[in-house]
C-alpha cells in the first residue's frame, strides 16, 4: 500500500512597508510505494493534480494576499530499501514546490 506525505516547510517573511509584506515558502511531497515504476506513476499523478491547482491559483486573489509565483524546485526518485519478507524494492519519490505571496496586514 503506498504512502504519501505532504509537508509545509514554513515561510520566510520580508516586510516592504508597515503593512505590506511578501512571504516565500515550500511544500514537499514524499511518496513511498512498492517498485520504482509504481512510485513514479504515483508521483506523476500527484504532480499533475498539484500543477493543475497551481495553474488555477496563479490568478486567484485572496482577501489580503495574492499568489505571485510557483516553481517546482526539485524531483528525486530512487530505491528506499528492500522489504525483508520478499526482497521487493520500496521506491521513494520526493518533490518540492516553492511559492511567493504578496500580502497586507489587516
How much is the pLDDT for 64?
Answer: 59
In tens, the pLDDT along 7-56 reads 988 788 888 887 788 888 888 999 999 999 999 999 999 999 988 888 77
pLDDT of 60 over the 90 cut: no
pTM for the full predicted model: 0.77
| CATH number of the domain encompassing residue 23 | 3.30.2000
Number of domains in the chain: 1
Give the structural domain span for 37: 3-104
Handedness of CA 76, 81, 83, 86 (dihedral sign): positive
12: Cβ contacts below 8 Å, ≥ 6 apart: 23, 24, 25
Nearest to 29 by CA among 103, 85, 93, 104: 93
Amino acid at each position: 500500500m503506498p504512502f504519501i506525505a505532504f509537508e509545509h516547510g514554513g515561510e520566510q517573511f520580508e516586510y516592504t512597508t508597515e503593512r505590506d509584506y511578501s512571504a516565500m515558502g515550500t511544500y514537499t511531497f514524499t511518496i513511498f510505494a512498492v517498485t520504482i515504476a509504481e512510485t513514479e506513476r504515483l508521483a506523476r499523478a500527484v504532480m499533475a493534480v498539484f500543477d493543475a491547482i497551481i495553474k488555477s491559483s496563479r490568478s486567484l486573489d485572496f482577501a489580503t494576499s495574492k499568489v505571485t509565483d510557483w516553481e517546482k524546485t526539485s524531483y528525486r526518485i530512487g530505491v528506499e530499501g528492500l522489504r525483508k519478507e520478499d526482497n521487493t524494492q520500496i521506491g521513494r519519490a520526493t518533490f518540492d514546490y516553492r511559492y511567493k505571496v504578496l500580502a497586507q496586514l489587516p
